[in-house]
Amino acid sequence: MSSAKLVAESGKILDVAAKDAPLTVRGLTVSYGNKPAVFSVDASIPAGSMTAIIGPNGAGKSTFLKGTLGVVPRLSGEVRIFGKLFEDARDRVAYVPQRASVDWDFPARVIDVVLMGLYGSVGLFRLWRARHRAQAMDCLKRVGMADFADRQIGQLSGGQQQRVFLARALAQNAEFYLLDEPFAGVDAATERAIVSVLKELKAEGRTVVCVHHDLSTVAEYFDRVLLINVRRIAEGPVDTTFTAENLQETYGGRLAATHIDELHLA
Amino acid sequence: MGFVDYFISALFLQAGYNSALVAIGAGLLGLSAGSAGAFIFLRKRALVSDAISHATLPGVGLAFIIMVAFGSDGRWLPGLILGSAISSAIGLLMVEWITRKTRLTEDAAIGAVLSVFFGFGIVLLTVIQTMSSGRQAGLENFLLGSTAGMLISEATTIAIAGALAAAFVFLLRRPMTLVAFDPEYAATTGVNVRNIDLAMMGLALIVTVIGLKIVGLILIVALLIIPPVAARFWTNQVGKMIGIAAVIGGLSGYIGAVLSAAEASLPTGPIIVLVAFGFFLISALFSPLRGGLASALRHQRFQRRVHRRQGLLSLARREPIYDGLTIRILRRAGMIRADGVATARGRIAAEKAAHDEARWAMARRMLPDDSAIERYDGLTPIERMMTPDQIAEIDRMILSAQNAQAQQGATT
């Protein structure tokens, strides 16, 4: 993989072998007002990998994800999903937004939210059939939420809400999953449930990218990292890229040296 | 014919072809307003529809002036509707543009657009008053709505447009639901969020302009928003909520139009809004799902269950009970005597509660990821949430833990 990767001038990656990689980003820049939140970031996510996007608060991790999916407008840069424009590869991608981005008092039951993941395949006019409900229930079972199908979503705990969001993405049956902070503020049971589902996805050959904030679990959950602090700091396999040096560069003075020591890095 | 007699006969469409048609038109207007308003409410953009409705006024005035200039009498409803639609669309796009291109928030943009357009409209109405043909224009009826002297063709137009708008809501229900709940996710699944938002506001615009004659531009926002707010009390499902909002809106329009027709001095718009408010009040108080009364009762029942459980656990631990409510509840249930001593029945219930508590404690240690643990409210007996096999396993573990403890006690 890395042998095919040539680092050209101004940090652009020309990745010839991975032309159809799940995600190839060149020079992505996104700004709010006139201040770039993400500046000229390159990334290349190989198929079947599990990548953590890591960086301090306000480093543009979520913005990077949204920029690749066109949720926020791009100022410049190119994004290819499986070698195509996102618009042409949409049905191969599933996005799990941050749990806090929606109003959970919305009139919906758990099953209704999961069925939203099937809107694309059901179409505008057709009604739900038993087949769709069974599909949604399967996804709920995978995240351990089948007993909650008829609950109002406002009655769920934060971890349960996160699992419902994951179930909705599973319903899309995509090849490439992008998750925004799936482990933020969830209980231990939820974290175990989500990790096991993500590992299943990887075992099935699918690709997973997570915005992640807990440095202590990176090596356990993921096999690749993308370190971002507005700019791309480093990208690659965990054992060679998730190093004390790179973390120091990513976090600057905001990460105490003692904290890095506790991670027992190479 | 007295007011009540007339009202009842009109309610059943027996008061003449004309007023029946007006009532049906108002009903269909309410139906489309309620269903379209449901999405506007869920998208939290109720005030945008207020800006849209106030922005119709200059269009009404200009359309009148133009039609008079071309020699017609200026009151032709389709012409006025077209004018109002154009000016409110301009108002809507201005709100959009200000929010997107400047750092102003939407509420500021709404305030600016609403007041400027409405002010301009009032100036135009005043000018029209001084025109020779303006005296009998009756344009001020567009402010609060009036069905008096409404033409059959007008009522038919309103009825058809209302039905079409409601059908449009039904067609767009899935993308609109998705955008209202989770716009970012919607965008990744291929929904054009901006277009859906525009369609949503376009629906509000259509409802507003066809509702000008009946409800009036000042109060149409109430017909868009009150029905969904009332409907929210009855259901937790968006599909049902839209249906209920449509029914409440439709009934409000229908009953309100009949009421105001029965007494010509009653303005139609305010009456329709008051009827809608009646539905809101009933919903807010009496809905078994989210209504105030049911919530209060549920809370009280829950409080009593908590006190009963606490009291029984105190009895099991042989602790004194001080809480007055706890004592009253236990005494009324025959668990304790007047002097506070547990009855035979109370002792059995207390033991059962303590046993259940111990089983749950063990269950939490043994099966931390089981969904029953997540769903446990702290009061429900374990038999109702776990299988007999699971409970047998829990009991085995409790027993072996007790044995281990006993052995430890024997050795020391």
User: Is residue B238 located within the same domain as residue B348?
Assistant: no
Phi, psi of A107 (to 5 degrees): -70, 85
What single-letter DSSP state applies at residue A127? P
Predicted confidence at residue B136, as pLDDT, reads: 62
User: Is residue B182 located within the same domain as residue B329?
Assistant: no
Q: Which two tokens stand for residue B174?
A: 């899935």
User: Is residue B270 located within the same domain as residue B315?
Assistant: no
CA A39 centroid distance within chain: 19
**Residue in B236, B368, B375 nearest the CB of A152:** B236
Q: How far apart are CA A123 and CA B188, in angstroms?
A: 16
**Residue in A94, A116, A144 nearest the CB of B178:** A116
User: Is residue B221 located within the same domain as residue B255?
Assistant: yes
Q: Strand A23-32 vs strand A13-15: parallel, antiparallel, or unpaired? A: unpaired
Residue at which a domain ends, from B289, B306, B333: B289
From residue B174, how far is each of A116, B114, B186, B346, B361 by CA, in Å?
Answer: 8, 30, 10, 55, 44
Please report the residues numbered 232 through 271 in chain B whose beta carbons come closer than 8 angstroms to any beta carbon of chain A. 232, 235-238, 241
Phi, psi of A234 (to 5 degrees): -160, 160
Predicted confidence at residue B41, as pLDDT, reads: 96
Residues in B touching A119 (Cβ below 8 Å): 174-175, 178, 189
User: Is residue B284 located within the same domain as residue B186?
Assistant: yes
Q: Which of B182, B234, B240 to mutate to test the interface with A (most CBs of A within 10 A)?
A: B182
A75 exposure class (CB count in 10 Å sphere: 0-12, 13-18, 19+): middle
CATH number of the domain encompassing residue B189: 1.10.3470.10
Q: Is A34 on the interface with B (CB under 8 A)?
A: no
User: Is residue B193 located within the same domain as residue B113?
Assistant: yes
Give the gap in angstroms from C-alpha B185 to the nearest C-alpha of chain A.
7
Tell if the CB–CB gap between B175 and A124 is shorter than 8 Å. yes
Which H or E run includes A3?
none
Tell if the CB–CB gap between B238 and A112 is shorter than 8 Å. yes
User: Is residue B197 located within the same domain as residue B81?
Assistant: yes
User: Is residue B205 located within the same domain as residue B334?
Assistant: no
Tell if the CB–CB gap between B188 and A189 is shorter than 8 Å. no
Cβ contacts from A onto B, under 8 A: 82
- Nearest Cα residue in chain B from A103: B181
Q: Is A146 on the interface with B (CB under 8 A)?
A: yes
Predicted confidence at residue B408, as pLDDT, reads: 82
Residues in B touching A147 (Cβ below 8 Å): 371-372, 375
- Nearest Cα residue in chain A from B173: A124
Q: Strand A231-237 vs strand A23-32: parallel, antiparallel, or unpaired? A: unpaired
Counting as low any pLDDT under 50, the low residues of chain A are 1-17
User: Is residue B270 located within the same domain as residue B363?
Assistant: no
Mean pLDDT by 10 residues, chain B (412 residues): 72 76 92 96 93 95 91 85 95 92 90 95 90 70 84 89 92 93 93 92 94 92 96 95 97 93 83 96 95 94 93 91 91 89 91 92 84 82 88 90 84 67
pTM for the whole structure: 0.86
Q: Strand A207-211 vs strand A176-180: parallel, antiparallel, or unpaired? A: parallel
Residues in A touching B199 (Cβ below 8 Å): none
Q: How far apart are CA B373 and CA A178, in angstroms?
A: 30
Number of domains in chain B: 2
Q: Is B371 on the interface with A (CB under 8 A)?
A: yes
In contact, A169 and A96? CB cutoff 8 Å: yes
Give the gap in angstroms from C-alpha B184 to the nearest C-alpha of chain A.
6
Q: Is A147 on the interface with B (CB under 8 A)?
A: yes
Q: Which two tokens stand for residue B375?
A: 């769903």
Residue A235's DSSP bridge partners are A226
HEC assignment per residue over B341-377: CECHHHHHHHHHHHHHHHHHHHHHHHCCCCHHHHHCC
Residues in A touching B184 (Cβ below 8 Å): 66, 71, 95, 97, 101
User: Is residue B275 located within the same domain as residue B302?
Assistant: no
Residues in B touching A106 (Cβ below 8 Å): 42, 180-181, 238
The residues, any chain, with a CB within 8 Å of residue A255's CB and separated by 6 or more, are A56, A247, A248
Q: How far apart are CA B253 and CA B247, in angstroms?
A: 10
Q: How far apart are CA B101 and CA B276, in angstroms?
A: 37
Residue at which a domain ends, from B248, B266, B289: B289
Q: Which two tokens stand for residue B282?
A: 């009933």
Tell if the CB–CB gap between B187 and A120 is shorter than 8 Å. no
Domain that holds residue B391: 293-411
User: Is residue B326 located within the same domain as residue B365?
Assistant: yes
Q: How far apart are CA A92 and CA A89, in angstroms?
A: 6
- Nearest Cα residue in chain A from B177: A116
Residue at which a domain ends, from B265, B289, B313: B289
User: Is residue B299 located within the same domain as residue B277?
Assistant: no
The torsion region of residue B148 among left (phi > 0), alpha (psi -120 to 50) and beta comes to beta
Q: Determine the longest span between alpha carbons in chain A, in angstroms.
A: 58
> Which ipTM was obtained for this model?
0.88
